Structures are given as structure tokens and as C-alpha cells.
Amino acid sequence: MLRELEELKTKAVAELNSIDNLGELEKWRVRYLGRKGALTSVLRGLGSLPIEDRRSAGAMANDIKTLLEADLQRKEEVLKEKELVAVLKQARIDVTLPGYPVSLGRLHPTTQTLREICDIFVSMGFQIVEGPEVEWDYYNFEALNIPRDHPARDMWATFWIDTESGERSRLLRTHTSPMQIRLMETTRPPIRALMPGRVYRYEATDATHESMFYQVEGLAVDQGITMSDLKGTLFEFARRLFGEERKARFRCDYFPFVEPGVEMAIDCFMCQGTGCRLCSNTGWIEILGAGMVHPEVLRRVNYDPEVYTGFAFGMGVERIPLLRYGIDDIRLFYGNDLRFLRQF
């Protein structure tokens, strides 16, 4: 009996070693360890053995069973692993094939720039305020210290709704500055506001002129606001928008609704200030106009210029991506050609 068991073990182990797939393995299991398997029958036949043989044969059969089960498990793991490798090998793909097409959305470059500008000023406590695109002459000009028949009006070629000129004449706002008046008329200092929006100019379009574009206006009014605050605010803005290394400067300029009036420029990022075509050989690129709110403008909205001071600034939005990306034609912005828009 013991020899029989020994032979059974040897045979089973030998067979197991030669098995190379899970199907055969299962058959092997049934053959030896199954309910009707060889080892099971041996164990079942133990009862017919004499009592003294029974114990030793039983112990041996159990040892063999444990051994075979362990071998089976090991073999099974090996074969499973092998099989998985084969399956994965089958499932190999060409990873250089293109992925599933996704429709990718994008914001217009003007919107992207507007957001950048607004974010910077909002972080400095400016609040965004908006107003109408069709304006009264009064807000667009008169209240901003630009009376009728003043040559300064030549600075803003205007689309008119009404032909009769007067305070109640309507026009497409030529700048976002009317919002200064609208805001001051309805609130009291302190004011710290940012006013973005579309503006219009009666100008034939070419590579550098558009009849419609965006501006961002800024206004801060309170007691004790000075031009050094304006400088600090705008230089900080320039640093954050154009980079740490950019230098900014103020120069005297004229806008009827500020006094003193300035223009801010940054050093040319193309030539680093040495002079090139982009900066017309000046080394500087104009970015915006600004100044201290004109006493007459304050008086117009019943703010006492002896008590309050303030600063205002206004900038064209498209100019920034135009410079930044080296775009040579402003008409591309509102031509909405996907081949252009997709680049931003």
C-alpha cells in the first residue's frame, strides 16, 4: 500500500511538471485530487486496511495530498501568469495611432487678456463695473472736460447715432472713460473701480486701426490719493502682466480729463530697450494713458477737489496680445478665423 502511494506520488508529480496550460492542470487536479481522483480513492480505501497499516498509510496519503495541493497551487500561479502574459501580448495596440478626437474649446485672446488684466487689479482691491456702449455726448465728452468744438475732440473720431450735436446726442462710446462719470455720479468716495468694455472709433480699418476694440478704465478716488499711488499701481500691474524684468516709465501726456496727465510705457521686450522696429527705435512701448482726475471732472460730479483726489487710467486691450505674440494685424482679432484663434 505504501509503495502504491509512493508510485502514485511520483507519477502525479511527474505529470504535473509536464503540464503547460490551465486546462490540463484542471484535468490533473480531477485525476488525483478530485472526488473520484486517485488519491481520494486511496484515502477512501484506507478503511479496508488492517488497523496498524491504516495509520501509517493514512499519514502518508495525507502528506502526499498536502504536497500535491501545494504543487498544484504553485503550478496554477505560474500558468496563470503565463496565460496573462499571452493575453496581454494578444491585446497589444499601436500606441502611435491618434487618440479619439476631442472638440477643444478656447477663449478669444481678447477675453484671455481681459481676464488677466482684471485679475491683477481685482487683487489690488479694484471692483469691476460696467456700463452702456451707446452713450450720451455728455458722459463721453462734456463731463470729461471735452466741450463741443474743442480740438481735443479730434483725439476721438466718433460714430454718432444722432446728427444734432449736444449733450443729449447719442454716440458709440469712444472710450471707457464715461464710466468714470457714471460711477462717481452714483457713489461717493472711496472708489476703486475697473471698467472694461467695448469702445468704437470712426476710423477706416487697417493693420493698426480698428473701428471696435476693448478698453479697460481704472479709477481710484479718495482723500490722499497721489500720483505716486498711480505709479505704484500701474508699475505693479506692468510687472505682473509683462514680467519682473520689465521696466516702466511715465511721461507727460495730455488727456482733457486728467491733470497732470501721463502716458505709461514699458521698455521694449523685443530689443530690451535698445531700439527696434517694434518700438520705433525709441526703446519704449506705450501701454496706457493715465493721470490725476481733473479738478473740473471732480467738480462736475460734486466731489470737492479741495478734499478729494483721484487717479484714472485707460488702456487698449488688444495691444497687449498684439505686442506679446507679435501679431501684425489688429483686424485678425475680430475676423474670427479659426486658424488665428486656435493659436491662443
Catalytic residue numbers, as ranges: 156, 175, 201, 215, 258, 312
Contacts to another protein from residues 87-126, by CB under 8 A: 97-98, 100-108, 110-111, 115, 124-125
* Residues written for the chain: 344
Question: Quick one: which of 294, 300, 313, 316 contacts another protein (CB under 8 A)?
Answer: 294
Pairing state between β 127-128 and 191-200: parallel
Pairing state between β 284-293 and 309-316: antiparallel
Pairing state between β 134-136 and 212-222: unpaired
**CB of 76 or CB of 222, closer to another protein:** 222
Contacts to another protein from residues 38-77, by CB under 8 A: none
For residue 123, the Cα-to-chain-centroid distance in whole angstroms is 18
Cβ of residue 200: shortest distance to another protein, in angstroms? 7
Q: Say whether residue 222 binds another protein (CB under 8 A).
A: yes
**CB of 7 or CB of 160, closer to another protein:** 160
Given a contact cutoff of 8 angstroms between Cβ atoms, the answer to whether 309 and 277 are in contact is no
Q: Say whether residue 275 binds another protein (CB under 8 A).
A: no
Per CB under 8 A, the segment of 18-26, 35-43, 76-84, 199-207 that binds another protein is 199-207
How far is Cα 123 from Cα 36, in angstroms, rounded to an integer?
81
Cβ of residue 326: shortest distance to another protein, in angstroms? 20
Cα R_g (the chain), whole angstroms: 42
Residues 6+ apart with CB under 8 A from 322: 330
Cis peptide before 260 (omega within 30 of 0): yes
Q: Say whether residue 223 binds another protein (CB under 8 A).
A: yes
Cβ of residue 323: shortest distance to another protein, in angstroms? 19
Given a contact cutoff of 8 angstroms between Cβ atoms, the answer to whether 227 and 235 are in contact is no
Question: Quick one: which of 43, 60, 227, 271 contacts another protein (CB under 8 A)?
Answer: 227
Q: Say whether residue 324 binds another protein (CB under 8 A).
A: no
Cβ of residue 52: shortest distance to another protein, in angstroms? 60
Contacts to another protein from residues 135-194, by CB under 8 A: 135-136, 148-152, 154-155, 159-163, 168, 170, 172, 187, 189-192
Q: Say whether residue 236 binds another protein (CB under 8 A).
A: yes
**Distance from the first to the final alpha carbon of the chain:** 86
Question: Quick one: which of 72, 216, 225, 266 contacts another protein (CB under 8 A)?
Answer: 225
Per CB under 8 A, the segment of 13-21, 29-37, 73-81, 228-236 that binds another protein is 228-236
Question: Quick one: which of 8, 25, 129, 184 contacts another protein (CB under 8 A)?
Answer: 129
* # binding residues, another protein (CB under 8 A): 93
Given a contact cutoff of 8 angstroms between Cβ atoms, the answer to whether 161 and 173 are in contact is no
Residues 6+ apart with CB under 8 A from 255: 261, 289, 291
Q: How many CB atoms lie within 10 A of CB 337?
A: 8
**CB of 40 or CB of 112, closer to another protein:** 112
Query: Which triple of cell numbers denotes residue 76?
Result: 496554477
